[in-house]
Amino acid sequence: MKKIRVLHFVTGGFSGATSVAVDIITGHQAYSDIESLLVLRQKKTTTSEKLASLEKKGINYQLVINSPHFATSKQLQQIIKEWQPDILVSHGFPEHIIGRAAGKKANVPHMVQVEHNSKERYTFIKLWQTRHLSQFTDSVVAVSKGVAQVLNKQQLKAPIIAIANGIDPKRFDSEPMPISSRNKDIIMVARFAKSKDHATLIEALNLLKQKNITPTLTLVGSGKTSYQNLANNLVKKYGLSEQVTLINHSNEIPQLLERHKIFVMSSRFEGLNLSVIEAMAAGCLVIGSDAVGVNELIEHKKDGLVFSIGDAQTLANQLESVLTNPLNFETMTIEARQKVLSYYTKSRMLKDYYDVFTEIMNR
């Protein structure tokens, strides 16, 4: 049986896009008719430790220069000519432009764009490029329905489909502890960035403190120093240091989630937030902002709660309701976990991508 050779091109920053590409490649190792190559656009965060983790997973990978873009493209073209992929999958912005431009020059038979975010820095030129390249693209994959709606406005010539990212539910207890029995209160797992808006959550915590409600808050994630400093300064300003714990990195995210009652995601924009999905799988009561990539995961008052972007007062009120009467929200956590098991598993995501690849080859 001839294998389908799939080359995934993605940032080497080991962001969410990189993680999804790695998950697809790792999962497709179990498929007898798929052979994968990962090409990373090297960044400062492309460390030897992270590359070693790819080797441990048995992933075949190569690196290309970060900039200038023409040099990145030239190196990628050479890899394409040597490896001869059937399908080039370019993940994220601007990699999907750089990758498909290189693929077109190197005569790759089929190309796929994967868009991981709902808000990117599209200049007039970049938008023209992605429209132009779409006529040489077999499929455009959006990681959520919200991202698909954004892409529909770009007037692309390739068909757009939504394939939601997925998680491995086996990482979490099959019967999570009820939130009323958990000893920690609130957690947010997110890198410090403009899109995540930790400030609104800290503002909500301060509003609760003014009512003599002082829950614990755990913030897990690294990111830009400027946004970390902003969060730290707000914590100090409101005298919340005894309530707030900051963890730069953890290899025990499932265990942390399973010890907390409430998970908050106060994003301003997303692609599809995997941390929300993981929190649902861990049995947390999830409260999320009405942002693309978050709001479609939560059905308000059925399997979680939703608040308007940047609305600290509503968030504070919701936190108070859950903290004072956690038993009233147990049913929501059960509904949320069931949703994840039904729609947001890694196995479902892998099959969806496999179906796209085989459909393209059989077209």
pTM across the whole model: 0.88
User: What's the confidence (pLDDT) of residue 186?
Assistant: 98
List average pLDDT for each run of 10 residues in the chain, which is 363 residues long. Answer: 93 90 97 97 92 96 96 98 98 97 98 93 94 98 94 96 95 94 96 92 98 97 90 96 93 95 95 94 98 95 98 98 97 97 96 98 91
CATH H-level superfamily of 4-166+345-362: Glycogen Phosphorylase B; (3.40.50.2000)
Give the whole-angstrom CA distance, residue 15 versus residue 248: 15
Sheet strand arrangement including 217-220: 244-247, 217-220, 184-189, 260-265, 285-289, 305-307
pLDDT at 249: 83
Res 96: pLDDT: 98
Please spell the DSSP secondary structure of 169-222, one letter per residue: GGGS-SSPPPGGG-SEEEEEE--BSTTT-HHHHHHHHHHHHTTT----EEEE--
pLDDT score for 1: 65
Position 202, amino acid: I
Taking the domain 169-343, which CATH number applies? Answer: 3.40.50.2000
Start-end ranges of CATH 3.40.50.2000 in the chain? Answer: 4-166+345-362, 169-343
